Structure 1
């Protein structure tokens, strides 16, 4: 496993067939490219017509191009089978730095060239991946968790697609699911939580007007999962208290969910801020708010109750489909 500089030249042996047809004619060919122009162009094209590949491929298909793989929450065992196979076959892996467990990189990428994406902008990353792919190398872009949730993946993919390089998603296990497993509970529970919200608190990226944490908590039957908010737990809880939410509402903070140094702090809206400050965590934790944290007061599911005794009829099968997950 060799960690390389993003500016180090790459080599390859096979010339890769261009599978995106006329899109290559509009590629922005330069050392750094123009990612914002590419993003704008791809966005306009997407607004006019759906990508044909949506109807040609399933999520687990082996596809042409650069896969954007979710590494999962941390534990190498929580990497998907598809993701592991792609990493084992990769020549170049561009990864999300310390957000990806080094044990995972050692287990699946010891043969590949590694590039840490932290601190590198699109003007560096896009031509790096493009050139390696066009040199015939198998390239994997490895994101932490699932790239579809706060992953900033689509802008990279749009920039690459505009340069004539096909891309696709490979899902991963997001940290909220690892947190649920650690807490030995479900995020949805009958009569407790009918909904799950993935959100983030206000800060440099999100304005006060766009912060809906209080709205979700106020709905009562929502399990609210806060990403990118470890540093602001106290401030977020203070706002919830100011908005009149029950100070005894359960809250859990799971630091490094599924990592060897995982830590779990369980408290309430009233207490969790001080608990997190005492622990000293400022990043890399997911915050779960709601009664699902303790599974307090949940009711038996319909799935294994009356509906289960209705026989193997079409109505019973329909009922099972409707009740699944309760």
Structure 2
């Protein structure tokens, strides 16, 4: 790739973020209607690296990394094996320890020099990735950007646990959340509310260090200490570890294991994979016929012809 200049033009990310946000309030971006999520587009892609295992990187992500001259990645949050396998031909720069005032000129200048730049986030960049502020700052300076989805750690964790996050008659909702701390006030911590609902699977990001405190608060607020909890450390990584417990026991188990970061915490009955009811989707197809009229037929035909989610509440769950 071309050499980066020693001095880059000053950038004011906050002004750019404010300007892009104001523009977004008043008009829709035409690219929303011009491209699908898997399309390769003009500009810098913000690619989800997935939860850890290089094999869980998407095909689109692999193709973009294969063409990259510069990969700005999320440091140790991205598996080094993935970087070695897919980025060994490119210059790689860790974003850890760099602020926007440094990252934006780095990516902007490389793009303007004609280099293919990829911004590689861990998991999916749309979930706790702080991607949009980087994209807005780049867009404000004339550099197009776009998202490339990745597999988030909650999905890798559910695969490890051999269960679903949604289960008929057990969990109809999923909450992606984080606990109170330096960046989230007590008033903005809604974990207790999700647990109170009963049929919610609560997936806690960025909260490994605070599991004991979170569980203590739930107990103090009157929640059942026997509600199941699973903690999956480094989901899909070679050193992955799984801890099972309850609201009343998982804090002590995690403290004994010594994990303080990089774990997915999942609260709810779906963790066990037990107690669910047979779904409507695969119930009685043999009696319905290809047109749903009871004339018999192949179930796969009916599955592809179902177009109304309200008529089949399990369609989205079964086909995602």
TM over 0.5: yes
Say whether 1:51 aligns with 2:29.
yes
Aligned to 1:142: 120
Instruction: List runs of 5+ in structure 2 lacking aligned partners.
Output: 294-301
Tell me if the contact between 1:69 and 1:170 (Cα under 8 Å) persists in the aligned partners: yes
Say whether 1:268 aligns with 2:246.
yes
Say whether 1:37 aligns with 2:22.
no
Q: Alpha-carbon deviation of 1:311?
A: 1.5
Say whether 1:10 aligns with 2:4.
yes
Label 1:155 to 1:314 Cα distance change in 2 as closer, same or farther (>3 A).
farther
1:298 aligned to which of 263, 276, 281? 276
Q: How far apart are the structure 1 equivalents of 2:45 and 2:240?
A: 28
Q: How far apart are the structure 1 equivalents of 2:185 and 2:152?
A: 24
Aligned to 1:213: 191
Q: How far apart are the structure 2 equivalents of 1:53 and 1:177?
A: 28
Say whether 1:89 aligns with 2:52.
no
Q: How far apart are the structure 2 equivalents of 1:32 and 1:215?
A: 44
Tell me if the contact between 1:32 and 1:126 (Cα under 8 Å) persists in the aligned partners: no
TM-score using structure 2 length: 0.91
Q: How far apart are the structure 1 equivalents of 2:124 and 2:37?
A: 13
Say whether 1:322 aligns with 2:300.
no
Q: After TM superposition, where is structure 1 displaced by more than 2 Å over at least 4 residues in a row? A: 8-11, 306-309, 314-323
Q: How far apart are the structure 2 equivalents of 1:199 and 1:123?
A: 28
Aligned to 2:92: 114
Deviation string, structure 1 residues 95-145 (Cα, Å, up to 9, x no partner):
000000000000000000000000000000000000000000000000000
Q: Alpha-carbon deviation of 1:296?
A: 2.2
TM-score using structure 1 length: 0.90
Say whether 1:152 aligns with 2:130.
yes
Say whether 1:72 aligns with 2:50.
yes
Give the 3-state SS of the residue equivalent to 1:244 in structure 2: coil
In the alignment of these two chains, the number of paired residues is 303
Q: How far apart are the structure 1 equivalents of 2:62 and 2:286?
A: 38
Say whether 1:167 aligns with 2:145.
yes
1:60 aligned to which of 16, 35, 38? 38
Q: Alpha-carbon deviation of 1:307?
A: 5.1
2:233 aligned to which of 251, 255, 264? 255
Q: Alpha-carbon deviation of 1:31?
A: 2.0
CA RMSD of aligned residues (A): 1.8
Label 1:308 to 1:206 Cα distance change in 2 as closer, same or farther (>3 A).
farther
Tell me if the contact between 2:45 and 2:148 (Cα under 8 Å) persists in the aligned partners: yes
Q: How far apart are the structure 2 equivalents of 1:141 and 1:37?
A: 21
Give the 3-state SS of the residue equivalent to 2:231 in structure 1: strand
Give the 3-state SS of the residue equivalent to 1:86 in structure 2: helix
Q: How far apart are the structure 2 equivalents of 1:199 and 1:79?
A: 23
After superposition, residues 156-195 of structure 1 pair within 5 angstroms as 156-195=134-173
Tell me if the contact between 2:280 and 2:312 (Cα under 8 Å) persists in the aligned partners: no
Q: Alpha-carbon deviation of 1:321?
A: 4.7
1:197 aligned to which of 175, 181, 201? 175
Say whether 1:241 aligns with 2:219.
yes
Say whether 1:225 aligns with 2:200.
no
Greater RCO, 1 or 2 (C-alpha within 8 Å, sep 6+): 1
Give the 3-state SS of the residue equivalent to 2:313 in structure 1: helix
